[in-house]
């Protein structure tokens, strides 16, 4: 019973803090004595702090409790298409250090050598004891088996059945938790981003970069599917006669709306727009990038606007299928395309409305990510926090400093 109460009280303080002991009792139904005893133990063990007084309802002002953010630290890693991120933060996602490097190869061993080198550099920089870390979260591109910590298939790297968890666990001697990168983002949005503090139990988080993926939350839990392929939206075929995708199939959604797909569309049509705003920017930079296209959209370039509307059309069609299947309360868009959301969002909504039956009463809100840059690594950190605060062995962890893997 005490083990369960520990978890309930600490999670309540984490979710609602600063919060008084009386409010904790109100929300949990636990006795005042239990809350007083356990909160005092948590204070003595350094996980909770008293931060002053709340408003009085007539008697003595209540003392407020909150999680001590620097009680423990978490490592977040992101293995993304062409990029590696390493981040270390405290319990409130205050970032101590963050590193990003490009990956110019797809060899499994070489990628991990680079990742381990980056992590060692970050660890040396913060100079914390190993006992101060809860664990390592990994946001992994592609299809992941989180129960075994294996990359089942990473299209960009052409990896199949590659060990992630055991490789890092053996090297750094810390618990490791692995999840699909967009699933991590979805968890991150729930804890620290666009969905923080909102009563939303079902959502879809969409990430568009070099790939396209969806993180699906149902009843406040990540939905992974029977074979861990739920959310692989980028590899839904929308044109069987289309261009070849990284995965080997033809006409995947990814070939149309990923950054590479957008750049390819613009480049193929740029020859017909010699006087375009983009043409001038492209001539100066010598390289066509998504940032250049976004700048040109904001400057009113017709070709780039057409490319963005094309993204909205195809994404809206694909989302409409998810909406009638899952019926989420909210859809969150990650990434750089939020810079042009005022143009993109209406196109997505228009496409969804044109695709869905008119008689369907769909009330699904479309939101921008609030995680900012490094959302994959932030999501990986949140993955570890979620495991920690929801652990049935939380009391054991607090007493020993070791979380069950």
pLDDT tens digits along 343-399: 999 999 999 999 887 767 677 899 999 999 999 999 999 999 998 888 766 766 666
**pLDDT tens, position by position, 232-291:** 899 899 889 888 887 788 999 999 999 999 999 999 988 877 667 887 776 656 688 999
179 or 11, which is more confident?
A: 179
Return mean pLDDT, the chain.
90
Cβ-based neighbour number of residue 133 at 10 Å: 22
The token duo for 105 is: 């190869």
d(CA 242, CA 106): 25
Q: Which helix (H) or strand (E) holds 375?
A: helix 375-389
Helix (H) or strand (E) holding 341: helix 341-355
The C-alpha atoms of residue 281 and residue 303 are separated, in whole angstroms, by 13
Q: Is the pLDDT of residue 220 over 50?
A: yes
All structural domains of the chain, each given as residue ranges with its CATH number in brackets, are 2-67 (1.10.10.10), 71-188+374-400 (3.30.420.40), 195-368 (3.30.420.40)
Q: How far is CA 380 from CA 178, 187, 330, 338, in A?
A: 8, 9, 21, 21
Strand, coil or helix: 387: helix
β-pairing verdict for 95-102 and 83-90: antiparallel
* pLDDT per residue as tens digits for the range 63-93: 899 999 999 999 999 999 899 999 999 999 9
Using DSSP's 3-state secondary structure scheme, residue 205 falls into: strand
188, HSE (Cβ side, Cα atoms, 13 Å):
32
Q: Which of 178, 175, 177, 179 is nearest to 404 (CA)?
A: 175
Q: How far apart are CA 267 and CA 23, in angstroms?
A: 59
Q: How confident is the model at residue 402 (pLDDT cuts 50, 70, 90)?
A: very low
pLDDT at 339 over 60: yes
């Amino acid at each position: 019973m005490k083990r369960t109460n520990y978890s309930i009280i600490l999670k309540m303080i984490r979710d609602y803090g600063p919060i008084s002991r009386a409010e904790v009792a109100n929300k949990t139904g636990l006795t005042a004595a239990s809350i007083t005893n356990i909160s005092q133990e948590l204070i003595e063990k350094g996980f909770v702090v008293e931060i002053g007084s709340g408003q009085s309802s007539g008697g003595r002002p209540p003392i407020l409790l909150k999680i001590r953010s620097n009680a423990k630290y978490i490592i977040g890693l992101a293995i993304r298409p062409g990029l590696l991120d390493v981040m270390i933060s405290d319990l409130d996602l205050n970032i101590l250090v963050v590193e990003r490097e490009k990956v110019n190869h797809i060899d499994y061993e070489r990628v991990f050598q680079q990742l381990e080198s980056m992590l060692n550099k970050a660890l040396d920089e913060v100079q914390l004891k190993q006992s101060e870390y809860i664990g390592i979260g990994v946001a992994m591109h592609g299809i992941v088996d989180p129960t075994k910590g294996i990359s089942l298939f990473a299209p960009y790297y052409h990896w199949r059945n590659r060990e992630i968890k055991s490789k890092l666990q053996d090297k750094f001697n810390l618990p490791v938790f692995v999840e699909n990168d967009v699933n991590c983002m979805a968890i991150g949005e729930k804890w620290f981003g666009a969905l923080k503090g909102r009563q939303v139990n079902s959502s879809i988080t969409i990430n568009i970069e070099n790939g396209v993926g969806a993180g699906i939350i149902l009843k406040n839990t990540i939905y992974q599917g029977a074979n861990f392929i739920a959310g692989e939206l980028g590899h839904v075929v929308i044109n069987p006669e289309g261009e070849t995708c990284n995965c080997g199939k033809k006409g995947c959604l990814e070939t149309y709306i990923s950054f590479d797909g957008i750049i390819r569309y613009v480049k193929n049509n740029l020859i017909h727009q010699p006087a375009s705003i983009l043409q001038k920017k492209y001539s100066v930079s010598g390289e066509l990038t998504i940032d250049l296209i976004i700048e040109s959209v904001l400057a009113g370039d017709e070709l780039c606007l057409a490319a963005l509307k094309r993204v909205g059309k195809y994404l809206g069609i694909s989302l409409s299928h998810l909406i009638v299947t899952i019926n989420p309360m909210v859809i969150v868009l990650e990434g750089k395309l939020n810079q042009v959301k005022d143009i993109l969002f209406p196109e997505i909504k228009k496409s969804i409305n044109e695709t869905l039956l008119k008689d369907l009463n769909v009330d699904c809100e479309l939101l921008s990510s609030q995680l900012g840059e490094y959302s994959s690594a932030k999501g990986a950190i949140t993955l570890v926090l979620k495991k920690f605060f929801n652990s049935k062995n939380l009391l054991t962890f607090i007493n020993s400093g070791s979380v069950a893997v």
